[in-house]
Structure 1
Amino acid sequence: MIVTHEYRIYPSAEQITIMERWLELLRRHWNYALGQRLDWLSQTREAINTCSIIAEPIGEIPEPVTYYSQQSALKETKVLFPEYRDIYAEVQQGNLRRLDKAWQRWWKPDITGKRAGRPRFKKVGKLRSFTFPRINCAKAGVQVKGERIRCSRIGEMRIRLHRPFPDGFTPKTCTVLKKADGWYVAITLKDASIPELLPINEIETAVGVDVGLKEFAVTSTGETFPIQQFYRRAQAQLARAQRKLARKQKRSRNYLKQLNRVQRLHQRIERQRQEHHYRVAHVLVQRFDLIALEDLNIRGLAKTRLAKSILDAGWGGFMSIVEAVAVKRGLHMVKVSPHGTSQDCSGCGAKVPKTLSVRTHQCPHCGLEMDRDENAAINILNRALCEVGIILPACGGFDVSRPVKQEAQATTGVQLSLFV
């Protein structure tokens, strides 16, 4: 199991200058290394609409540019540009390794056939972190002892360990982060143990959750969590700060001060949204053994006219947080297809078409009448129970406190029994 803890550090003015210099040099090296890869790509590829049907001249084929070829060129880089000698060697290698991972995610599709976007050149100030791959070992670049942290070639500084390392976990890597309100370190901790997932036959409580814009989340039990809209609340203040930023001379001292104010506003919005997501996630995980959510295409939904509200709600981040919290406790989080969850009747399964403005589900077949989102949450739960092997009672409906499972298949029907 791997977890990451983030701690605040308090470097001196001289140490801040060193780290900012490192970030700028690493940014330039990132751009140069990415340019090498793109040049190799353009020399070894030709667009199909520009190739000759009869023949195409082939010149000298350059060697592929890989992480290892660029890593071996670091010695030459330090000769040509002596300022790179001041950067810890493993930090430079980590910068190239990060570029290689980004390149591979774009170059090779994953198991689902999807590829990430092409790595981009970074503008001034856009590279905001660097990584020490080892910590608290003999030849590590970072040592943490008590309330002090020592980074090689940067120096010793104070660290605020607001929570200790968990028992049995070993520190593996340390990433130095520059944020709007100061400097942080993200320490990755690893433990050999893996949380055991709760067996299916021991699941006692389950819930379906439908996320929306009227209410942030509605559960199959009828409980609602109000939507907060942190970005919309701060939109007027953010607009004023951005107008002031636009009037200042770019990259001047006053420009950078105002830019930091804008960044702090965005950081506060992000932290408020994340705190809200964690609160809702912990409430759900404490009450239920299985949590069912929709597998939404948020990227596609963000292209509609409701894009601002959808991104402000942060459904994707919420689902990731619920999954992480559930895995740590050994509980189940299931994603189901969202197709038809709002249109299908949770009582009889009939299709009841309705527009987005209709907020009440009224089934003309079985007479069921309830809130639209609650009906969708029940459908989400029913689909999740079918996916994990738990099915509904033959009489319909679902008791949230005691799920049921299929035990035997008979010629006359399905025999069901409660978990004991």
Structure 2
Amino acid sequence: MLLTYQYRLQPNQEQAATLSHWGELLRRHWNYALGQRLDYLRRTRSSIDRCSLISEPIGEIPARVDYYSQAANLKGTKSLFPEYKDIYADCQQQNLMRLDKAWKRWLVPDKSGKRGGKPRFKKQGDLCSITFPRVNSAKAGANLNSSTLKLSKIGEIPVILHRPIPDGFDIKQATIVSKADGWYISFALEDNTVPTSLPVDKIKSAVGIDVGLEKFLTTSDAEAIAVPLFYRKAQAVLARRQRKLARQSKGSNNYQKQANKVARLHLHIARQRKDFHYSVAHYLCTTYDLIGFEKLNIKGLARTRLAKSILDVAWRTFLNILQAVAVRRGKHTQEVDAKGTSIECFNCEERVVKDLSIRIHNCPNCSVCLDRDLNASLNILKRTVGQPFAACGGLVSRQPVRQELSFVNLRSPRQTAFSG
């Protein structure tokens, strides 16, 4: 299992300038390598039913361009541009590997037939990470000793180890990232011990969760978690900073300072949201052994009028975090079909069609009256325990339900006004 631990770096001005210079050189190399690939694609492809001489450039057809050919040309790049000799060689190779992965995701579909987007040319400041593939080994470009990180051709940089690296974990690679508030390093740690999942016959508690916008989620035990609205609450401050940014001369020092303030506010909101997601995920995994959730088309929902609210709660990010936390803690998660969970009655399975504005489920067949989201979470629970976990000990499909929801008070992240 691979885990990522991120720590803050404290480089001096010279070291920070060197890291920024490396990032700029790698960005230029990315753009050049991407241009090579696109030029090869334009010169070698042709439509089946027409000639491409009119719309495509005429000239000598270049040799096939891939990672191996571009990596072999690194020596020629260093001879033409001596500044690339100052960059650790593995970092340049990792830059080409990243481009190769993006290129293959665009051209080669995955098992489900989906492809990634076309790789883009990066403008100044877009490429903000440098990867060292070897750490604490022979000929490694990065070595961590206590709280000091020694980088090849840069020197020793203090690291704030706010939590220790667990014993027995191997550091596979290190990635230095530039963020709005400074430099960070992410260590990819490999844990050879695979967490043992709870046996199916020992699952004693299960829950279905229904995510929403009025409430962040509602459980089948009639508990609800309020929507934090981190972005909505910061909109007024963000609007003021963006108006001030628009009045600055683009490219000036004042423009760069104000742009950094806007970026720091976005970073603060993202960190609040991430901390909230982890708090909810750990609460669910502590309370339940099996967690069922809906399979949602979040990408399609984000194209509606509710896009801002949907992107603010970040359902997909939360569900990914929930599954990762469940694996680490040996718990189970189950994704179920979301079709009809809000319409079907959990008690008698009668279809009760209602508008989105109606928040109460009132079944005319069995006279059940309860919160709409609670009814959906109960349906999710029924579909969860009816799948591969039907033999769960002590679980039944119909359990007593409280009519009113109770809101859970989690360990709330720092929600104070941002002043950085």
Say yes or no: TM over 0.5. Answer: yes
State the shift of 1:86 in Å. Answer: 0.4
Q: Which residue of 2 aligns with 1:304?
A: 304
Distance 2:94 2:57 in 1: 38
Gaps of 5+ in 1: 401-420
Q: Which residue of 2 aligns with 1:411?
A: none
Residue deviations 1:32-91, cap 9 Å, x none? 111111111111223467548xxx999865332111110000000001111100000000
Distance 1:47 1:194 in 2: 50
Tell me whether 84-93 or 240-249 shows the greater mean CA deviation.
240-249
Task: Please state whether the residue corresponding to 1:234 is helix, strand or coil.
Answer: helix
Distance 1:252 1:293 in 2: 49
State the shift of 1:295 in Å. Answer: 1.3
Greater RCO, CA 8 A, separation 6+: 2
Residue deviations 1:125-172, cap 9 Å, x none? 011101000001121111111111111111101101111111211111
Change (3 A) 1:394 1:22: closer
Is this contact kept in 1: 2:132–2:174, CA < 8 A?
A: yes
State the shift of 1:250 in Å. Answer: 1.3
Q: Which residue of 1 aligns with 2:149?
A: 149
Is this contact kept in 1: 2:170–2:190, CA < 8 A?
A: yes
- Residue identity opposite 1:18 in structure 2: T
Q: Which residue of 2 aligns with 1:416?
A: none
Distance 1:112 1:197 in 2: 27
Distance 2:395 2:73 in 1: 68
Tell me whether 124-133 or 382-391 shows the greater mean CA deviation.
382-391
Distance 2:265 2:330 in 1: 36
1:122-201 matches, cutoff 5 A? 122-201=122-201
Is this contact kept in 1: 2:200–2:391, CA < 8 A?
A: no
1:5-404 matches, cutoff 5 A? 5-47=5-47, 50-51=50-51, 61-390=61-390, 397-398=398-399
Taking structure 2 as the reference length, the TM-score comes to 0.91
Distance 1:60 1:28 in 2: 25
Is this contact kept in 2: 1:281–1:321, CA < 8 A?
A: yes
Change (3 A) 1:244 1:395: closer
Taking structure 1 as the reference length, the TM-score comes to 0.91
State the shift of 1:266 in Å. Answer: 0.1
- Residue identity opposite 2:18 in structure 1: I
Is this contact kept in 2: 1:200–1:388, CA < 8 A?
A: no
Distance 1:314 1:76 in 2: 45
Task: Please state whether the residue corresponding to 1:189 is helix, strand or coil.
Answer: strand
Distance 2:388 2:37 in 1: 45
Q: Which residue of 1 aligns with 2:413?
A: none
- Residue identity opposite 2:324 in structure 1: A
Distance 1:395 1:366 in 2: 19
Residue deviations 1:209-235, cap 9 Å, x none? 101000001000000000011101000
